[in-house]
Structure 1
Amino acid sequence: MAINESFPMILIAIALCCLVVNTEARWMIGNKLSWKRVIVVDQSGKGDYKNIQEAIDSVPSNNVESVFIRVEPGVYKEKVTVPEDKPFIILSGRKTETTIITWNDNGDIWKSPTVSILASDFVGRYLTIQNTYGAGAKAVALRVAGDRAEFYACKIVSYQDTLLDEQGRHFYNNCYIEGATDFICGNAVSIFQNCHIHSISTQNGAITAQHRTTPAEETGFFFVDSKITGVKSCTLGRPWGPYSRVLFIRTYMSNVVVPQGWDDWGKPSMHSTVYYGEYECYGPGANRSGRVEWSRSLTTEEASIISKDMIDGKSWIKA
């Protein structure tokens, strides 16, 4: 009789254990993310690998199946590269503040990154990615050069050229990006939604340096429902390329944004070719009365174009 009475309790216990183990997997499937293989990275030795690069290296070349790499909390002092022939990787921590990938390098923007994403169809979640070199040289924290890359609740931190958003279609959601000089740069077409942009510049350092070089390129940086804070003063951007394109939509701007808003990098010839605009931005730094005359107050129609559709997002951005 005692055995029969305890049997339901055993079943409940087993069910609870399964629920705990599968909570993340069930959540991911519910949000249109699924995978064929799970790899656990744990510095304590309880996972499949102790460092992240080893886990990525274990994914076969020309991979065609989704691989979920779960990174347990810890400070991972390593350079990480997802090579071009390893698409469909999901790299996820459990909590942004406790899952840290860090390195200290500078110089070449293509060689200094702490993390380099060269593959397509990549998803990064709940990670802090930092380059601790500091001021004085280019020091990239994250380089993204693959197509269809997504980042959720990631913290990306350096001083100069923090995020090299090099090429491809990218989506950043609820991310924190910090730097002082040109710290979001490159020639991707990217939407930054609900992101926190924090400038540590003390002398009008530019947040963006977008590299669009011809009017035919459908590239640009588009900030939607985001916010800008900082320590002293900054500009919204300056043109790395002559057709540089950056737009801010419904974004909060603190008083760190200087009244002129934008910088021409000493190249007045670009005034007629760059496309810099703002729409329904607010906060003490959003007052357009002092803006440079070659920036734009976007119309509702112009602003409405900025959506996931412009990067064919419905086909690859997860819910």
Structure 2
Amino acid sequence: MPGPRRQLVLTVDWSGRGDHRRVQDAVDAAPANSSAGSVVIRIKPGVYREKVVVDKPGVTLVGTSASSTVITWNESWVAADSPTVSVLAPDFIAKRLTFQNTFGTSGPAVAMRVAGDRAAFYGCRFVSFQDTLLDDTGRHYYRGCYIEGGTDFVFGNARALFDKCHLHSTSLVGGAFTAQKRSAESENTGFSYVGCKLTGVGKGTSILGRPWGPYSRVVFALSYMSSTVRPEGWDDWSNPAKQRTEFYGQRAVPVLRRRVQD
């Protein structure tokens, strides 16, 4: 019988008191294939200004806290390697980290691209403005995460469950929480949000989603929605024909209000 898989543990510390100063250097030191074992990369508090590409299976990134451990870059979306962090291999896990793109509001800028199968994020933060989180392909799970942006800030064509996450819109007008890209009825993809919270900086400034693909599919279940969400909820991206094929649903958590007597 095969023995237990080996696990390599590496420490990243920008100050030099670890195995590596850069996150990418630690990823490069990981085994090249899953049969060789997995790697846990512990990242000490700090701001790591670098782009990271995870192209090896079985990599786990662990921060001390999302508020103190930040991977950041400043680049608009111009190519596949533009995101701050790109996950291209399967069996990836991230815990207690912030993934940030500081490009600003003038165009798409991806903080995280997830294109590997079986990825999971726990207590992480994703921060940009347009196209913050590219949930591209594969099956993904997000629990207790914070996602901030203004326009289409969760987008892509993966199959993802967002569990007790907080989505915060920074758009003052014309914002959209999601842009899901399912392009055919046969595709088993879509975004599911359960027990989540949706907030924002303005009132009635953002829609829940719009169809990047004609069969776009997004569901919000038992989630709190603040007044940031526009009353109509969804948009067809100026293409009424997509209303026949897209699937959108929401069930908000009822909010009990105490009646104030004059």
TM-score (ref. length: structure 1)? 0.76
Q: Matched residues in 1 for 2:126 and 2:103: separation? A: 14
Tell me the CA shift for residue 109 of structure 1: 5.8
1:256 maps to which of 219, 223, 228: 228
Kindly indicate whether the alpha-carbon contact (under 8 Å) linking 1:109 and 1:164 is maintained by their aligned counterparts in 2.
Answer: no
How big is the alpha-carbon RMSD for the aligned residues of Structure 1 and Structure 2? 1.4
State the match for 1:106 in structure 2: 76
Q: Matched residues in 2 for 1:193 and 1:35: separation? A: 30
Gaps of 5+ in 1: 1-33, 285-319
State the match for 1:140 in structure 2: 110
State the match for 1:41 in structure 2: 12
Q: Matched residues in 2 for 1:111 and 1:236: separation? A: 28
Q: Matched residues in 1 for 2:140 and 2:99: separation? A: 17
Q: Matched residues in 2 for 1:215 and 1:185: separation? A: 18
Q: Deviations over 1:133-188 (max 9, x none)?
A: 01111100000000000000000000000000000000000000000000000000
State the match for 2:219 in structure 1: 247
1:149 maps to which of 99, 103, 119: 119
1:62 maps to which of 14, 18, 33: 33
**Taking structure 1 as reference, are residues 35 and 185 closer, same or farther at Cα in structure 2, changes over 3 Å only?**
farther
Q: Matched residues in 2 for 1:257 and 1:88: separation? A: 38
Q: Matched residues in 2 for 1:63 and 1:36: separation? A: 11
Letter aligned with residue 59 of structure 1: A
Task: From the two aligned structures, give the one with the greater strand fraction.
Answer: 2
* 1:275 pairs with 2:258: no
Letter aligned with residue 162 of structure 1: T
TM-score (ref. length: structure 2)? 0.92
State the match for 1:52 in structure 2: 23
Task: From the two aligned structures, give the one with the greater helix fraction.
Answer: 1
- SS at structure 2 position matched to 1:38: strand
Q: Matched residues in 1 for 2:99 and 2:255: separation? A: 29
- SS at structure 1 position matched to 2:177: strand
Q: Matched residues in 2 for 1:278 and 1:266: separation? A: 21
Percent of residue pairs identical: 53
State the match for 1:317 in structure 2: none
Letter aligned with residue 206 of structure 1: A
Gaps of 5+ in 2: 257-262
Tell me the CA shift for residue 52 of structure 1: 0.3
State the match for 1:159 in structure 2: 129
Kindly indicate whether the alpha-carbon contact (under 8 Å) linking 2:66 and 2:123 is maintained by their aligned counterparts in 1.
Answer: yes
Tell me the CA shift for residue 111 of structure 1: 2.8
Q: How many matched pairs?
A: 249
